[in-house]
Amino acid sequence: MDIKFSKSIGNVKKSFIREIFKVLDQPDMISLSGGFPNPASFPIDEIAEAAKKVLDLDGRHALQYSATEGYVPLRKYISERYKKRFGLDIPFEQILITNGSQQALDLLARVLIDNGDDVIVEYPSYLGALQSMSFYLPTFHEVRLLEDGVDLAMLEEMLKNHQPKFFYTVPNFQNPTGLTYTKENRIEVARLIEKYECLLIEDDPYSELRFYGEEVMPIKSYLGERGILLGSFSKIVSPGMRLGWVVACPEIMDKLITAKQATDLHTNVFAQRVVYQYLKDNDLDAHIATIKAMYRRQRDCMVTMIERYFPQGVSVTKPEGGMFMWATLPEGISSMKLIDQAIANKIVFVPGDPFYVNRVDANTLRLNYTNSNETEIEEAIKRLGRVIQDAIDAKK
Amino acid sequence: MDIKFSKSIGNVKKSFIREIFKVLDQPDMISLSGGFPNPASFPIDEIAEAAKKVLDLDGRHALQYSATEGYVPLRKYISERYKKRFGLDIPFEQILITNGSQQALDLLARVLIDNGDDVIVEYPSYLGALQSMSFYLPTFHEVRLLEDGVDLAMLEEMLKNHQPKFFYTVPNFQNPTGLTYTKENRIEVARLIEKYECLLIEDDPYSELRFYGEEVMPIKSYLGERGILLGSFSKIVSPGMRLGWVVACPEIMDKLITAKQATDLHTNVFAQRVVYQYLKDNDLDAHIATIKAMYRRQRDCMVTMIERYFPQGVSVTKPEGGMFMWATLPEGISSMKLIDQAIANKIVFVPGDPFYVNRVDANTLRLNYTNSNETEIEEAIKRLGRVIQDAIDAKK
């Protein structure tokens, strides 16, 4: 058939991570590619208990159509947790439950971006965000990341020269770099957003997973209504449940609700009630503590193995939390060109390219440490070290 | 704040049904408005059993990230059911699981519609489809419905004079009219779609709920790759689970998968596995038989009560299945203008207006009989009859 598809869908690249799924089933393959939690951390029995309770107590509502905004007790729980963690007052009416925070990104892009609108993203940025925004045909501007956060001079330059709809950031244990913005950097970002009357989309799936250093307040806490904040239960309870949320002021929330209605009516209410029941009956902080202990060991193991097995000239970030490290290879070595060799050696990672708007043959790559045990991490880093060494040798 | 929202979201109307939710909590309010299943039909204990089993057997996968396409055993179940019901061969690879069929509508609009593209919809049409498509700024053409299906001459005229991307239809127990296309009408629709090289989006949430007459084959069965077919577990298992699907040829499926990735990665896999387990361990046909017996009584009751209590000059469709009847008031009486009076009398319905692209003050309205018991239906129709009579009297 000769179907004319929409211009917009033609602009969306397939997710590299989703495409790589196909090789993951090969025997002995070790994946450092996805952003998967360690399934050993899933509270399976507690979720089973919660599911039973939800159906016993009020199965008729748990299985019926429900409100677009989400299940009120769950929204109140999220509101209270912001209060407890940061002293932030966020009324539950300003929280919309979404199918994972990926949907929140799509809904925000949907209500904010017209073809050609300017938006600012990090360089590199979360590939799922680039993918979801690209559908709406914005003009991307990429702002460099430094050790302490975003390059503020470059950010101000972009805010001054364009009228961007928003700046999209992952300020905690960023995906893909693992970097975290300092408090000072955040305060400046907030000031610039206010000064240039822009919006901030602050994506925060990882901040609960801090193993080292001190918690930093969300940028939203330094901003008023120009701050939009995203969160997720994917990394602290279960990603399969697809439960995320977006915090937005009433003016934006109103549009998001309309967009959500038109998109899928509402988020799975059975899942919302089950997760709420789980949170109510269990100690989330204790659960998160066990996840963090697990991930800290895995992260430390990867750091050690990288020191042992990676060739000279490769630099790697050392995140204080979250799920990822970011490696920079010697100049001129394309991580994308290493992928076939890596797969032949039964190891996968995500090359840098999809984390940039247009860059190809980047010398960067993302490594995930949460979904492999220490034996696997050692083996994977050893294999990857050899693949990188071979590439360096071949260049000589 | 002075936020410039996207042109597209400005084109989306709030769902009237969602807005009406707000009055439903009033005591003694009887709602004939939503398209809600009767919660007495929900297989609560069986779902509880399935949830326990899913978590016991393979909790780690049930709570983890999963494939965009959906859970393979569920897709195979759907494929086999098409085979069993209609003898249709639909490979499971051509089935994508979505967050209810509402999301399938959004994804299809997303990959097919560019601003200004022509699309054909029924007159009246499902309001959620109009809402979701309107985001993509198409030019709508509305084709009249007759007792035996769509007005074929009018459909051909539109196909000839425009190059519409698709014709969107609900051929079984249509939402909102309750009308069903005859076999002859379907064959002609298929022929016209082929002749003019258009696509058909056949939305079929209700065909399992036939209480009278004989099953008719999907239009898809008379079409090749130009037929796109939507289905849903909302009306036969649970709408809160948000599980629908779309059947499309590989060329279209490829784009839908990319769109789904960018939108929300994948559908809740816990829900997919629970519903699959439920389907595997229980007799769906027996369950549907109990739903049908229940709805048939409710439908018959509404027909009887309308004959008893509605004024002369009001005509109402008599559906052979599904969830809705469609009433036409005497010329010049706006059902939208009756809504306040109806609410004052503790009864709500959906006025005709939102089921048309632009029509206002339509003299039509939709009545749902599945979510009220027979006592409520009698009382509601009695009250509504009075409200209509008052409006007729006031016009004299």
* Token pair 């909790």: residue: B59
| Percent of chain A residues past pLDDT 90, beyond the cut | 94
Place of tokens 């084109």: B11
The whole-chain average pLDDT of chain B stands at 96
Q: Give the pLDDT confidence score for residue B17 in this predicted structure.
A: 74
Confirm whether B24 is domain-assigned. yes
- pLDDT value of position B15: 77
Residue A54 lies in a domain: no
pLDDT at A392 over 90: yes
Q: Closest CB to B239: pick one of A21, A34, A65.
A: A65
Q: Assess A236–B contact: CB distance below 8 Å, yes or no.
A: no
Q: Pick the last residue of a domain from A246, A261, A281.
A: A281
**Interval A64-69 mean pLDDT:** 94
- Cβ of B65 within 8 Å of Cβ of A240? The answer is yes
Q: What is the pLDDT of residues A92-126, one digit of tens each?
A: 999 999 999 999 999 999 999 999 999 999 999 99
Predicted pLDDT at B372? 94
Residue A51 lies in a domain: no
| pLDDT over threshold 90, residue A18 | no
Query: Does one domain contain both B163 and B198?
Result: yes
Same domain, B114 and B224: yes
Distance, in angstroms, between B251 CA and closest chain A CA?
A: 8
User: For residue B327, is it within any domain?
Assistant: yes
CATH of residue B379: 3.90.1150.10
pLDDT of residue A380: 98
Q: Is residue A388 part of a domain?
A: yes
Per-residue pLDDT reduced to its tens digit, B353-371: 999 999 999 999 999 999 9
Token digits of residue A132: 């979801």
What are the helix and strand counts (H, E) for chain A?
A: 13, 14
Q: Is residue A57 part of a domain?
A: no
Q: Summarize the confidence of residues A179-206 as an average pLDDT.
A: 98
Say which range, A298-307, B19-28, B74-83, B212-221, has the weakest mean pLDDT: B19-28
Chain A: residue whose CA lies nearest to B48: A52
pLDDT tens for residues A199-218?
A: 999 999 999 999 999 999 99
Nearest CA in chain A to B39: A60
Helix (H, G, I), strand (E, B) or coil at B121: strand
The pLDDT value given to residue A1: 80
pLDDT band with cut points at 50, 70 and 90 for residue A25: confident
Residues of chain B neighbouring A261 (CB-CB closer than 8 A): 14-15, 18, 131
Q: Residue B48: inside a domain, yes or no? A: no
Are B170 and B249 part of one and the same domain? yes
Average pLDDT, chain A: 96
Same structural domain for residues B38 and B75?
A: no
- Of B359, B363, B264, B365, the closest CA to residue B13 belongs to B359
Q: According to the model, what pLDDT value does residue B241 have?
A: 97
pLDDT tens track for B226-267: 999 999 999 999 999 999 999 999 999 999 999 999 999 999
Confidence of residue A242 (pLDDT cuts 50, 70, 90): very high
The pLDDT score that the predictor gives to residue A26 is: 85
Higher pLDDT, A58 or A25: A58
Query: Quick one: angle between helices B269-281 and B72-86, nearest 10?
Result: 40
Residue A53 within any structural domain of the chain: no
Is A114 close to B3, i.e. CB distance below 8 A? no
Task: Answer yes or no: do B264 and B308 share one domain.
Answer: no
Q: Which of A19, A23, A243, A261 to mutate to test the interface with B (most CBs of B within 10 A)?
A: A261
pLDDT at A210 (0 to 100)? 98
Amino acid identity for residue A178 in this structure = G
**So what's the pLDDT on residue B34?**
87
Apex A333 CA angle, A362 and A339, nearest 5: 75
Query: Which of A42, A111, A263 lies nearest to residue B59, judging by beta carbons?
Result: A42
The last residue of one of the domains, among A220, A252, A281, is A281
Same domain, A306 and A380: yes
Are A113 and A138 contacting, i.e. CB atoms less than 8 angstroms apart? yes
> Do residue B374 and residue B255 come from a single domain?
no
CB B112, CB B160: distance < 8 Å: no
Question: What CATH number has the domain bearing residue B267?
Answer: 3.40.640.10
CB of A262 less than 8 A from some CB of B: yes
Same domain, B23 and B111: no
Same domain, B152 and B301: no
Number of domains in chain B: 2
Average pLDDT on A47-75 reads 97
pLDDT surpasses 80 at A11: yes
For chains A and B, CB pairs below 8 A equal: 243
Q: What is the pLDDT of residues A133-152, one digit of tens each?
A: 999 999 999 999 999 999 99
**Residue B143: per-residue pLDDT:** 98
- B39 with A63: CB under 8 angstroms? yes
**Which residues, numbered 38 to 97 in chain B, qualify as contacts with chain A under a Cβ-Cβ cut-off of 8 Å?**
39-40, 42, 44-45, 47-48, 51-52, 55-56, 59-68
Q: In the predicted model, is pLDDT for residue A20 greater than 80? A: no
What's the pLDDT at A272? 98
In which band, very low, low, confident or very high, does the pLDDT at B208 lie, cut at 50, 70 and 90?
very high
- By C-alpha distance, the chain B residue nearest A41 is B60
A392 reaches B (C-beta below 8 A):
no
> B111 and A6: CB-CB below 8 Å?
yes
Strand partners, A139: A118
CA quadruple A36, A211, B58, B46: dihedral positive or negative? negative
Chain A segment 335-374 residues within 8 A of B by beta carbon are none
Where a domain ends, among B281, B302, B323?
B281
Report whether A168 contacts A127 (CB < 8 A): no
Helix (H) or strand (E) holding A364: strand A364-368
Q: Which domain holds residue B255?
A: 64-281
Is there a single domain that holds both residue B391 and residue B296?
A: yes
Nearest CB to B112: which of A2, A6, A131?
A6
Which of B2, B6, B55 is nearest residue A48 as measured by Cβ atoms?
A: B55
Residues B265 and B342 in one domain: no
Across the range B76-80, mean pLDDT stands at: 98
What's the angle, vertex CA A285, arms to CA A281 and CA A286, rounded to 5?
Answer: 80
Phi, psi (deg, nearest 5) at residue B66: -145, -175
**Cβ of A25 under 8 Å from any chain B Cβ?**
no
Which residue does chain A place closest to B261, by CA atoms?
A15
For the cut 90, the answer to whether the pLDDT of residue B50 exceeds it is yes
Could you tell me if A213 and A291 lie in one domain? no
Chain B contact for A261 (CB, 8 A cutoff): yes
What is the predicted pLDDT for the residue at B266? 96
Q: Tens of pLDDT along A251-284?
A: 999 999 999 999 999 999 999 999 999 999 999 9
Residue A396 has pLDDT above 90, yes or no: no
